[in-house]
Structures are given as C-alpha cells and as structure tokens.
Structure 1
Amino acid sequence: MARPMGPVRLKKTSPATLAVGAALCIFILYFLIGSSSPDFSASRKATAAAHHLSPPTSPFRRSTGGGKPKPPPVARYNLNNVTITPDPLENRENILLLTPMARFYPEYWDNLLRLSYPHELITLGFILPKTKEGNTATTELQKRITKTQKYGPEKDRFKSIIILREDFEPPLSSQDESERHKMHNQKIRRAAMAKSRNSLLFSTLGPSTSWVFWLDADVVETPPSIIQDLARHDKPVVAPNCFQRYWNAEKKEMDERPYDFNNWQDSPNAQELAKQMGPDDILLEGYAEMATFRSLMAYMHRDDGHRHEEVPLDGVGGAALLVKADVHRDGAMFPAFPFYHLIETEGFAKMAKRLGWQPVGLPNYKVYHYNE
C-alpha cells in the first residue's frame, strides 16, 4: 500500500543567482534590439570615410525605432591632389605593392622588410589560388603578416594589407617551374595570371595611390631602394632586369643568368608572324619553336653599363614593374585574351602604349628570381 507523500519544500533561490539571471536577460534583450539597428557611431564614420582604398560602403538602413538615423558619410576625393613625382619619398606618395602568390617564399617576405621606402606609405595586396598549395601559402603569409604587423618593430609595419583568394579554378595542377613554362601551357596559364592581376588591381587601387609596384612572389632579392630608384626615372612603366642566381658546376662557383625574357623590343620577324596568326593565337617569347628575333632586355645587360640606363620597350614582364597609378586609371590592364596577339604583361605593355604611355626598361638594374 502506497504511503501518502509529505509536503514538498522548494529550495529558496539565493539573491546572487537572481542577480546573475537578471543581468543575463538584460544582455540578451540588448543584443537582440541593438544588433538590429545599424552602427552609425562617429568613430566608425570617421574610420570609414578616411579609408585610403575606398569610400564607406555601409548601406542606409531603415530604423526599427521611431527616429530616422543619419546616412553614412559621403567621401570626396580630388585626384588632382594626388602627386606622382620622381621623388615619391620627399612627397610622401602612397605605394600599392601587388603580388600574385601561388607559393610562399620566406626570402620574398624578408626582402619586403628590407625595403627602405617608409612602410607606413606602402599598402600590400596579395591574391592566391584556392588550391592545396594556395592554402599552404595563405597560412604561411598570414603568419608572417601577424609577426610583422602585430609584434614587429614600428618601422617594419605596413600601412595596410589585403589578401584575396581567386574565384576560379587554376588551369594547372602544379606550379613547378618545369611545368608552368611548357609552351603548350602558356596561353591558359597566362590568361589565368591576367585574371588574377586584374582582380587584385581593381580591388585594391585606391584614390590616394600614386604608384603601383608589381612584384612577383618568387622575386627574392631587390635593392632596398628599388621603389625610389625606379620612380626617379619619372616614366609611366619601368621594368628592371630579372636575373637568377645558380650554382655553376663548370666554374664551381655561384653564378647568375638572365631569367625574364618578356622585356623586349619588337622585331619585323615577330610582326610578320603576327600577321599570319589567327585572331585567337598569341606570340610567345623564349621558345625555339617560335623564333621572334626580338631584342631581349635580358641580353642587354653590361657589367660596365650605367645602372640607370634606359631602353624603350614594347613588351614587359611582371617580375618587377613600377607603374604610375594613372596608367591603370586610364584603363591599361592585363588582357586575359589575345590583344594584338599578346597576353597578360606583354599585352599590358601594348595597351599602355596604345593609351600613350611608353614603357622603359633598365637593362643594368637587376633583381633576382628564386632558383628552384
């Protein structure tokens, strides 16, 4: 037989528990109500309006309360006030340093840190593929960025850094030097490179940018003063000569050899080849199967030549390239399609010339490519 239950006694809730519960309820209500209204704080407006890349992009949102919030600020930029001079250091001109990156080389980053141009005037922009190698490179890049920007000395920290990821599939599964330089891979490979360069350029070129410095991720050695050195020529497009250091087995010592063959002066033979091509065919440089007989800046170097000697160019490479921002603002980009039978950086040189900007090269001013 079941026994009747006695009276149930409830445990008295302590005042501390009630206080914690009340605070939690207030926090939840604040979060739900506050998150639905836009943040138009004065500090946020000031930061957005002063951003060197673009105007603020916060939309005007309807208020959930009774009042009408103020719209985001309108930013005004006068491009006539942006100087592009042979002495960017004296005039404190902003540099946009852009690098398409498939692999991360520590030597590349170490070289960046050695640049003598004030880092607070340099914005870095990167674009990486969505591949396994690209993921690894992104991780390593972010580690170096954190180390420099958060923990490094003030002089090493850059003005800002932007990282983009490609939104298309890479045409080649491998980035090995032997694979990416095969002739039959060039059109699809360089078309993809052109798309990356354009995405990076159009996403980062800001209204205060004076110069755009293109530097490949596998260029691991440049003079620290390269930005000032190239800018002093006051040319719209300036290309140094790209070499590669290697172990010479015959001499039993370190040696160097020309690397970038896309800096060239056109030839009648190349022009004749172009006339015989279909509309979707491209001319390539550095391949025996397509003898263009162009004059290559790689072979114009002289040990006794003046470091700042200039030569006019009809095609340029992208290993290292200083461009006045106005050239890109005028519309000169990197064609991912045959443009006068040229593509990517060589097509860019042709486009710049068509817009009235003459590229020049410095055969005796050298930078160095990584040797795989």
Structure 2
Amino acid sequence: MARPLGPVRLKKTSPLTLVFGAGLCIFILYFLLGSSAPEFSASRKASAASHPLSPPTSAFRQSTSGAKTGPPPVLRYNLNNVTITNTPVKNRESVLILTPMARFYQGYWDNLLKLSYPHELITLGFILPKTKEGNAAYAELDKQITKTQKFGPEKDRFRSIIILRQDFDPPIPSQDEAERHKMQNQKPRRAAMAKARNSLLFTTLGPSTSWVLWLDADVIETPPTLIQDLAFHNKPVITPNCFQRYYNAEKKRMDERPYDFNNWQDSPTAQKMAAQMSPDDILLEGYQDMATYRALMAYMYEEGGDIHYEVPLDGVGGTALLVKADVHRDGAMFPPFSFYHLIETEGFAKMARRLGWHAAGLPNYKVYHYNE
C-alpha cells in the first residue's frame, strides 16, 4: 500500500537571484526592441531624424530590427530661432548645396570635398534626368557618395545626401555645350532647368536650413572657403564671377575667359525691348541677335582687384549662387515661364526683387567652369 506524501516544501528563493533574473529580462527586452542601426558620431547622431517622413535635411537612421514604423511625429519648429548670419561657421548654420546634374564631373566632386565649411553642417541635394546620360551620371555619383559617406574620413562625410530623378523628359537630347547654348534651345531648355530646380528646392528645403548654395555640376574649381566668403557679405542673394580655363592657341599657353553672362545690371535698351515683346517672349543674354547692352558682371573683373568688391545685380546665373533660405521661404522660385520676360535664374532674381530681396555680385571673386 502506497504511503501518502507529506506537504511539499518549496525552497525559498534568495533576493539576489530575483534581482539577477529581473536584470536579465530587462537586457533581453532591450536587445529585442532596441535599434540595431550603426552608431554615428555625437554631432551626426544629434541631427538624425527619427522617422522617414521627418525633414529631409536631417539624416534618417533606418532601423534594421524589422519593427513596424509608427506614424510620423507631430513636430513644431520656431523659424525665428534659425540664424542666418555672416559668421555661419561660428553659429553652426546649416547649408543646403543643390545641384541639377545631367553629367558627372569628377572635378566637381573633388572640389566639393575640399570645401572647408564643416561637412556635418552640409546637406547635398541632386536631381538627375531619367536618360542614358542621367543614368550614367547617377552611377558615378552613387559610387563617389558611397566612397565618401561609408569609407571616407569622418570630416569628409556630409550630414545627409538626397538624390531625385526628374519626372519629365529633357527638351533637348544632347548635353553637349554647343547644343545646350543654341539660341533656339534656350527657352525650352531653361524652362526644364527651372522645373528641375524647383523640384529639388521644394523637396529638400528643411526648417533648419539657413543658406542654400546652388552649384552647377560643371563647376569644378572654387576657393575652399566659398561658403564662408559669400556669406560674409550677408546678402540675400550673392554670386561670384564664373570663368573658364582654356588653351589659348594665339598666346600658346593656358588662359581664362568669362563664362556666365547671366549676372547683369539692366539697361534702358533691354527694358525697351521687353516692353515691345509679347507676354510669353523672353530676353536672353550673350547672343548677338539679341543685343541688350546690359552691364555684364563677367566683364567687370579687375585683375588684382578686391575680391570682396560688390556690385548690385538685376539678373543672376546659377553656376554658383548663395541664397538666404528665407528668400526661398518667402516664395522666390525659378519661373519656368516668362516672368517679366525673364526665365529661370534671371527670373528668380526678378521675383526675389519683387519680394523685397536684392541680389549682389562679386566681380573679382572667381569660380571656374569645366571646359568641354
């Protein structure tokens, strides 16, 4: 006959064991729920966005844990706290460098890396056409971005980089310099450029942006202090003088010549021509068939002159153009249509002026365009 068992007595668990078990549970939960994204330096981590729909000028730290992303946060920004001063490095002001790109030039990227403005304060934005040339440019650009952002030294890495592809076809198939500058191609070409610039601007301009630097993809040489030098003048819109190096066969040596003729002061002749035009017609600069007799900044350069010498401008080009972000926030964009008989960057200068913002140029401060 089986003997009945007596009452079972459980061994009392020690407090130390309970504490250890609780700590282990917390560690496991943290490991499972925590983000496994790689860490950034302190300065970059502080600027990282927490959601893919957060402002694009902050880098998004994508989680690889597989956890479902919640709804975007409701954020409030006080734009009165965004400083735009002539000492942008001292005040840690964010700069947005925007570049429409149809071809990739290694000199452009190398020059970009040489800029002395803290790269952790710079966001890059690109827009490329969906063409064969655009695809080739995208592949080269992506290669350089990976090399810099993933394998390059920390000081060379930019805060974030945004790449867009155009959702419309280019009006002219070739990007050769001679084809681009034909007079009959100017209005459709520059209208397309204006659309690309606006798409890029409206997509990337964030609430923390202080300055926007428009820099063409074929500008391959600038002073490393370009951003600081232009911002020093504290102008709403300011542009340097764009030149081009070339081999002078007559002098049998390298020489340079003016390149950007869209930086100008208006003339009575041009105003009279505009008054006689139909609403959709535009004035173009640098063509013998349309002599406007404007004062071109390209020809105001004085060798050995003060690089900080300023001149007021009524029209600007886009090869290198520093704009206070508030000018764009006020609504100044690049008209893809005839705006007071001006289009694209020249139309932008006119629109900015109508909003109370005035443009200036530095005729003795040079940047250089690629020579095809």
| CA displacement 1:115-164 (0-9 Å, x = unmatched) | 00000000000000000000000000000000000000101000000000
CA contact (8 A) 1:261 1:297 kept: yes
After superposition, the Cα gap between the structure-2 partners of 1:139 and 1:49, relative to the gap in structure 1 and judged at 3 Å, is closer
After superposition, the Cα gap between the structure-2 partners of 1:54 and 1:261, relative to the gap in structure 1 and judged at 3 Å, is closer
Distance 1:54 1:260 in 2: 29
| CA displacement 1:24-70 (0-9 Å, x = unmatched) | xxxxxxxxxxxxxxxxx78699712995537999xxxxxxxxxxx98
TM normalised by structure 1 equals 0.83
Deviation, 1:258, is 0.2
CA contact (8 A) 2:297 2:363 kept: yes
CA contact (8 A) 2:108 2:220 kept: yes
Distance 1:130 1:301 in 2: 38
Q: CA RMSD in A?
A: 2.0
CA contact (8 A) 1:248 1:254 kept: yes
| CA displacement 1:155-179 (0-9 Å, x = unmatched) | 1000000000000011001000000
Q: Counterparts of 1:268-279 in structure 2 under 5 Å?
A: 268-279=268-279
Show the counterpart of 1:338: 338
CA contact (8 A) 1:111 1:221 kept: yes
| CA displacement 1:184-208 (0-9 Å, x = unmatched) | 0000000000000000000000000
Show the counterpart of 1:180: 180
* Aligned AA (1:318): G
CA contact (8 A) 2:115 2:226 kept: yes
Deviation, 1:74, is 1.2
CA contact (8 A) 2:59 2:160 kept: no
Show the counterpart of 2:220: 220
In the alignment, is residue 98 of structure 1 matched against residue 98 of structure 2? yes
Q: Number of residue pairs matched?
A: 321
* Aligned AA (2:91): N
Distance 1:238 1:344 in 2: 16
| CA displacement 1:66-120 (0-9 Å, x = unmatched) | xxx9854211111111000000000010000000000000000000000000000
Show the counterpart of 2:119: 119
* Aligned AA (1:237): V
Structure 1 stretch 316-325 or stretch 74-83: which is displaced more?
A: 74-83
In the alignment, is residue 280 of structure 1 matched against residue 283 of structure 2? no
Distance 2:49 2:115 in 1: 31
CA contact (8 A) 2:54 2:72 kept: no
Distance 1:368 1:72 in 2: 43
CA contact (8 A) 1:56 1:72 kept: no
Show the counterpart of 1:53: 56
Distance 1:336 1:269 in 2: 24
Q: Counterparts of 1:318-337 in structure 2 under 5 Å?
A: 318-337=318-337
CA contact (8 A) 1:237 1:323 kept: yes
* Aligned AA (1:48): H
| CA displacement 1:264-311 (0-9 Å, x = unmatched) | 000000000001100100000000000000000000000031100000
Q: 5+ residue gaps in structure 1?
A: 1-40, 58-68
Q: 5+ residue gaps in structure 2?
A: 1-32, 38-47, 61-68
**How much identity, in percent, do the aligned residues show?**
76
| CA displacement 1:340-365 (0-9 Å, x = unmatched) | 00000000000000000000000000
Distance 1:182 1:170 in 2: 15
Q: Counterparts of 1:71-220 in structure 2 under 5 Å?
A: 72-220=72-220
CA contact (8 A) 1:53 1:204 kept: yes
Show the counterpart of 1:311: 311
Distance 1:361 1:314 in 2: 10
Distance 1:237 1:292 in 2: 23
Distance 2:57 2:98 in 1: 17
Matched residue SS, 1:170: coil
Distance 2:52 2:166 in 1: 28
Show the counterpart of 2:7: none
Q: Counterparts of 1:8-87 in structure 2 under 5 Å?
A: 47-48=50-51, 51-53=54-56, 72-87=72-87
TM normalised by structure 2 equals 0.83
Matched residue SS, 1:210: strand
Deviation, 1:234, is 0.3
CA contact (8 A) 1:222 1:368 kept: yes
Matched residue SS, 1:289: helix
| CA displacement 1:314-341 (0-9 Å, x = unmatched) | 0000000000000000000000000000
After superposition, the Cα gap between the structure-2 partners of 1:72 and 1:269, relative to the gap in structure 1 and judged at 3 Å, is closer
CA contact (8 A) 1:48 1:55 kept: no
After superposition, the Cα gap between the structure-2 partners of 1:222 and 1:166, relative to the gap in structure 1 and judged at 3 Å, is same
* Aligned AA (2:268): P
| CA displacement 1:233-290 (0-9 Å, x = unmatched) | 0000001000000001111110000000000000000000001100100000000000
